[in-house]
Amino acid sequence: MLNFNYYNKTRIIFGKDTHKEVGKHLKGNVKKVLLHFGGQSIKNNGVYNDVIESLKSNGIEFVELSGVKPNPRLSLVREGIKLCKEENVDFILAVGGGSVIDSSKAIAIGVNYEGDVWDFFEKGIEIKNALPLATILTIPAAGSESSTGTVITNEEKQLKLSCGAELLRPEFSIINPEIYYSLPENQIANGVCDMMSHIMERYFTNTLHTDLTDGLCEATLKTIMKNGLILKKDNKNYNAWAEVAFAGNIAHNGLLGLGREQDWASHKIEHELSAIYDVAHGSGLSVVTIAWMKYVYKTNLSMFVQFAVNVMGVEGSFRDEESIVLEGIDRLKDFFIKMGLPVTLKELGIDDSKLEIMAKKAANFNNGEEIKIGGLKRLGWEDILSIYKLAR
């Protein structure tokens, strides 16, 4: 096990009707709030009205900024920063999924910064200051409701980059499973895949002696898979939503990766897809993850045997480890298909034309120099190209 330093200040307020109390949690701690959200969906499912009513009844001043789209855009972030400065906003309330929360985090770090907020993403400037924020999670998936990071798409540059800091963890996040009843089927599946990927990026490691986090990862993955399938059939099942939403939070709050080297190649490889083709992150991940596994499993066969046995329930002779591993990968693929997720680039409508460009971007390839990615197996742009090709 590796040394670690873990701090997670986000209060999780979980359960029925909890979003209606948001004003109470803010009262006394804020002067003026930016209410940041996507568009129509929170108006359709009643959350918008509940939030407005709670803010008003607690006497909380606020301004609104809507318009966040999946793969949140830098242009709206800049607009949000401008608005916060003009209106002297001192707190951001994100009502939405990962995109809204990531957009809020980017606004939060830009408000007290002199330069352009994109500097934090492109130049890796240290984040020393940010407005505090809170979230009402309307799509459990990205885990951004208590994570340290934000991922923003610069639409002009076709770049999807991330940055992060401890102080970007929200002050509190409200998770009410009832809110998720109105989510469309594809968002359930994408969310499930995103959460699972957050765990697998941490799980697949060359670090030895990680019994506890191995077990926590495995339990969380199994919880998501079991309850994801329930939701596929019954999208108003409170308890299944509660398990999935809680697991999605644990998946990305940092706990499951403590003391172990992490991977994160699949995320990086997927980000190039969604930066260019604007595919849903979860759907990009289901495609990339299967191909990544097929490409890398020989690097650490026993790690993949453990996954196949402990997560996917593969049994049989341990004298042929490779067949256990391949059966495990096949079962994961079957699960994705059962959830309605794509497992090939073709299903995403992506042809071969930009595979090399994406592979080179993923590895920051530039005049023969590259920055390899991935913890389990270090991948250069040619490896990444092979993974894209395996995913066709």
Query: Smaller CB distance to a copy of itself: residue 8 or 300?
Result: 8
Name the segment binding a copy of itself (CB under 8 A); options: 100-108, 152-160, 198-206, 238-246. Answer: 238-246
Output the smallest distance, CB 172 to a copy of itself, in A.
8
Residue 104 found at the interface with a copy of itself (CB under 8 A): no
Output the smallest distance, CB 365 to a copy of itself, in A.
35
Read off the tokens for 302: 């026993």
Read off the tokens for 159: 């770049």
Q: Which of 99, 187, 223, 274 binds a copy of itself (CB under 8 A)?
A: 223
Output the smallest distance, CB 281 to a copy of itself, in A.
22
Q: Which of 185, 208, 323, 392 binds a copy of itself (CB under 8 A)?
A: 208
- Binding string to a copy of itself for residues 253 to 272, with x set by CB under 8 A, is what? -----xx-------------
Residue 250 found at the interface with a copy of itself (CB under 8 A): yes
Output the smallest distance, CB 251 to a copy of itself, in A.
10
Q: Residue 154: in which H helix or E strand, if any?
A: strand 149-154
Q: How far is CA 352 from the centre of its chain?
A: 26
Query: Smaller CB distance to a copy of itself: residue 292 or 335?
Result: 335
Q: Which of 135, 148, 220, 262 binds a copy of itself (CB under 8 A)?
A: 220
Residue 298 found at the interface with a copy of itself (CB under 8 A): no
Read off the tokens for 312: 């996917």
Residue 234 found at the interface with a copy of itself (CB under 8 A): no
Task: Give the total of residues touching a copy of itself (CB under 8 A).
Answer: 39
Rule CB under 8 A: which of 145-204 touch a copy of itself? 172
Q: Could you write out the three-class secondary structure of 211-226? A: HHHHHHHHHHHHHHHH
Task: Please check whether residue 303 is in contact with residue 189, taking contact to mean a CB–CB distance below 8 angstroms.
Answer: no
| Alpha-carbon gap, residue 194 to 283, rounded angstroms | 8
Instruction: Using alpha carbons only, give the angle 377, 379, 380 rounded to the nearest 5 degrees.
Output: 160
DSSP 80-143: HHHHHHHHT--EEEEEESHHHHHHHHHHHHHTT-SS-THHHHHT---------EEEEESS-SS-
Q: Exposed, middle or buried: residue 261 (CB in 10 Å: 0-12, 13-18, 19+)?
A: middle
Residue 1 found at the interface with a copy of itself (CB under 8 A): yes
Residue 211 found at the interface with a copy of itself (CB under 8 A): yes
- Binding string to a copy of itself for residues 6 to 45, with x set by CB under 8 A, is what? xxxx-xxxxxx-x---------------------------
Residue 78 found at the interface with a copy of itself (CB under 8 A): no
Residue 242 found at the interface with a copy of itself (CB under 8 A): yes
Q: Where do we find the tokens 């929170």?
A: 42
Residue 2 found at the interface with a copy of itself (CB under 8 A): yes
Query: Smaller CB distance to a copy of itself: residue 55 or 242?
Result: 242
Query: Residue 93: left if φ>0, alpha if ψ -120 to 50, beta else—which one?
Result: beta
Residue 128 found at the interface with a copy of itself (CB under 8 A): no
Name the segment binding a copy of itself (CB under 8 A); options: 57-65, 222-230, 366-374, 375-383. Answer: 222-230
Phi, psi at residue 151, to the nearest 5°? -125, 125
Task: Please check whether residue 285 is in contact with residue 267, taking contact to mean a CB–CB distance below 8 angstroms.
Answer: yes
| Alpha-carbon gap, residue 283 to 70, rounded angstroms | 12
CA dist list (Å): 317 to 296, 314, 376: 22, 10, 25
Residue 277 found at the interface with a copy of itself (CB under 8 A): no
Residues in contact with a copy of itself by CB under 8 A are 1-9, 11-16, 18, 172, 208-209, 211-212, 214-216, 218-220, 222-223, 226-227, 239, 242-243, 246-247, 250, 258-259
